[in-house]
A and B are shown apart, each in its own frame.
Chain A
Amino acid sequence: MNDFGLILIGLILCTTTISSLQCNHLPLQQRKVIENSLQLLDKMGKKFPQQCLREEMSFRFPEQVLKLGQREAVKMAIEEIFHHIFYIFSKNLTLAAWDGTALEQFQNGLYQQIEQLEACVIKKQTHYFQKKEVNRLKLKKYFQKIDCFLKDKQHNLCSWEISRAEMRRCLQLIDKVVRRLNN
């Protein structure tokens, strides 16, 4: 109990200092990160290989997660998507044979956004998770499918190229939403 109490105090203190951080630049920075990420995704590899067309998978991104009805929910969804993309592109990339510099810049840009979003989001109370929407779970299932797909194919070239194309589509969707969100 003592531990928990102290941790809670620590977290509260953390939250107060965090909420005094300058966070106004995040929407602007987010747009730039998405723009850059799309460019780097194109830059890191060549055109989609013909031989991989056979293996195309339909992952069905849950577009309702980005519906602009609830701005806060959409913002949280975008933050989560950044996390997932960052995770997917973090390992087992040898067989993809992509441009290492572009990949590094891609990851670095995503991570900067993640880190700053983390620092700026005012932590909701612990009962937040009770408000879980089914959409968030659908989003997780979508990324789980991609992760499983890559693992099943042992992260070969085609599985990577298909995943890269899928992530590109995902980021383009987010790009459109973010532009509307900030206007």
Chain B
Amino acid sequence: VKDTLCRPSLEPPLCYFLVGQTNLKSPQDIQVYVVNTNFTLRWKYTGNDTDVTFSAEYRWFEDFKVDGTEWKKLPGCQNDTRTECDFSSAITEYYDKHHLRIRTERREEVSPWSSIFEMTPYDIAQIGPPGIELQSINGVIKIKVSPPEANQVQKMWIDDLSFKYNLVIWENSSNAEFRSQSIFPTDKIYDLAPDTTYCLKVQATYPLESKEGLFSPVHCIKTTHKVNVTFCATNVSILALNMKFHLHWDNRYKQHVSYNVQYLSGYLKKLYDDYSVKWLNVPGCENITDTQCNFSSIITTVSGTFYLRVQAMIENNKSCLSNEVKVIPLVTNEIGPPGVKVDISDDVLLHIQIYPPGGSESEVMRDNYDFSYRILYWKNSSNNEEEIKMKEIKQTIGTISDLTPSTLYCVKVQAFSKAYNKSSHFSKEECIKTPGDKILPLVILATFVTAVVAVLLVAAPLIFVLYQAYSKIKYVFFPSCQPPLNIEGFGGQLFNSPYRPTAEEPIENFSIIETIITEDLNQIDFKDYKHSKQSSRDSGNYSNDDDTSGSKASEEMLEKEIV
């Protein structure tokens, strides 16, 4: 069997032909073990030879390029006799892909290169153990954690603020229960039995990568006796409505206690600096005796959590700090009820005007909660079995249609934030009555008026016609004018004929009687004539003309004739 070995790394390339067998096996099962920036290469050698050494090479792909660098000797892994080596000094680019290979060597003999081990340092790196400092005070353990690569110049974990520390604590006795909790770099461990030895260990985790680091060595400490301070503030709680934040607490101490309410910006707890000096007094809640405080002034933005605590002080400058409470403004806050106004428009629609909760603060709440409104409405009748209907809207004006007339409707509104899963109490009920049915009376009125008008239109001419007929008949059969006494005897026959030319009468008189008498007669006749003329319009030849003009014409005619 001939083994061909080419060594392309030499110039010019030389190929060696080995006579005989090379038993040198390549290393196998390459593993890389990384803790922080410490790189360890491990492999297995299955051959029987004992006087072999190993050498490794590496190359990497800068800035995610496809072509890598040339193969280079891996420092720290040359001529190793053991099957592991430390090559930390070679690696500087932790985000770049690296290739590693090893081969066995014995004097001039070399084995083929092992298969390539591909790795990205950051991906396979493990988080090393953090440092711990402990202090036992008043039945409580104070812990200070330092990050895994504290004081190191070259770091794998640059962003040490992203670490989340996991504490495991147990009582130093048999059958002790393990308690696991998340802690800040500087924190206090409560709920511990006094005068007891506890053991603990901490690991750093990287939540973003779901990485869990190595645990620190176990530290044990004994808790001290707990001193009960009687004048501390207890039951510290928060009441927040419409972005007005109030802190309330109790104190069973009978004598005079004054309080200082202090606050801390939430992010300070995440830093490795000592935040105990960074607590600030809430303005307006310094040296107070009241067991409540309005701390709305410190909530300058809704983005940002805060911690609050109460410092109680008695005469001889002794003070006691209460437990801390956490405030996440938009989550802690409760939404108050909205304002409601109802109105009914002419087209029988119920309009609901909603005023968002919070008044002057409402802009902040409206901006951040993205309110929706739930309207409940029902008919307020004597029998309480009327169903309550619901409507959800996003705008501040709601309209309800399909209302029954002459009914009292009641409305109440609730504001809610779907995003924050928060809802307010319902507003006060607002009731309004729908107007009575206007249609029917209007219809009746319209019908009545139409009927009256119709009747008038029909009746008026009818009456007129009837009256005309009546007057004609009356004129014909029951004339109103009386013939003069002196011609009474003529009989009715002469006057019976309606078409007798009445102009002839005066002419007859003229020829028989004297002038004076004639004139008198004329006048009398004319008067009567006029009278009769006025009472019956249709008679004679004067059908369309005016009465007086007609009779005047006859007068003129007669007067001419007289002359």
Q: Which residues of A contact B (CB under 8 A)?
A: 3, 6-7, 10-11, 14, 22, 24-25, 27-29, 32-33, 36, 76, 79-80, 83-84, 86-87, 90-91, 101, 104-105, 107-113, 115-116, 118, 121, 123-126, 128-129, 132, 134, 137-138, 140-141, 143-144, 147
Contact = CB atoms under 8 A, between A and B. Distances in A.
Contacts of B271: 90-91
B334 to A, nearest CB: 15
Contacts of B212: 126
A110 B159 contact: no
A129 B123 contact: yes
Nearest to B63: A141
A63 B402 CA distance: 55
A110 to B, nearest CB: 7
Interface stretch (B83-91, B416-424, B475-483): B416-424
B95 A140 contact: yes
B180 A124 contact: no
Nearest to B304: A108
A76 B370 CA distance: 25
A100 to B, nearest CB: 11
Interface string B299-312: 01111110000000
Interface stretch (B20-28, B239-247, B262-270, B406-414): B262-270
A109 B420 contact: no
26 contacts: A6-B180, A7-B166, A7-B168, A14-B180, A22-B421, A25-B330, A28-B419, A29-B330, A84-B159, A86-B267, A90-B161, A105-B300, A105-B304, A108-B265, A108-B266, A108-B301, A108-B303, A109-B301, A111-B267, A111-B304, A113-B303, A115-B305, A121-B207, A129-B211, A134-B64, A140-B95
If over half of B's interface residues share one DSSP class (helix, strand or loop), that class is named, otherwise mixed; here it is mixed
B303 A36 contact: yes
B529 interface: no
B168 A3 contact: yes
A141 B208 CA distance: 16
Nearest to A39: B301
Nearest to B164: A118
A7 B223 CA distance: 24
A7 B167 CA distance: 10
Nearest to A116: B328
B161 A109 contact: no
Contact of B159 (A32, A87, A128, A137): A87
A107 B161 CA distance: 12
Contact of A28 (B162, B164, B207, B368): B368
Most chain A CB atoms below 10 A, which of B168, B301, B331: B301
A143 B155 CA distance: 14
A7 B421 CA distance: 32
A116 B212 CA distance: 20
A96 B82 CA distance: 52
B210 to A, nearest CB: 5
Contacts of A25: 330-331, 417, 419-421
B303 A32 contact: yes
A123 B164 CA distance: 14
Interface in B145-175: 158-162, 164, 166, 168
Contacts of A79: 208
Given A32-B302, A138-B64, A24 B421 contact: yes
A117 B166 CA distance: 18
B353 to A, nearest CB: 26
Nearest to A80: B208
A104 B63 CA distance: 35
B419 A24 contact: yes
Nearest to A148: B158
B209 interface: yes
A81 to B, nearest CB: 11
Given A24-B420, A32-B368, A83-B162, A111 B122 contact: no
Contacts of A143: 158-159
Interface string B56-78: 00000001100000000000000
B319 interface: no
A22 B64 CA distance: 40
Contacts of B160: 87
B266 A129 contact: no
Nearest to A37: B303
B275 interface: no
Contacts of B209: 128-129
A6 B125 CA distance: 24
B380 interface: no
A128 B212 CA distance: 12
A92 to B, nearest CB: 12
B178 interface: yes
B120 interface: yes
Nearest to A10: B180
Nearest first, the 4 closest Cβ-Cβ pairs linking A and B are: A108-B304, A109-B303, A111-B267, A10-B180
B210 A33 contact: no
Contacts of B419: 24-25, 27-29
Contacts of B120: 132, 137
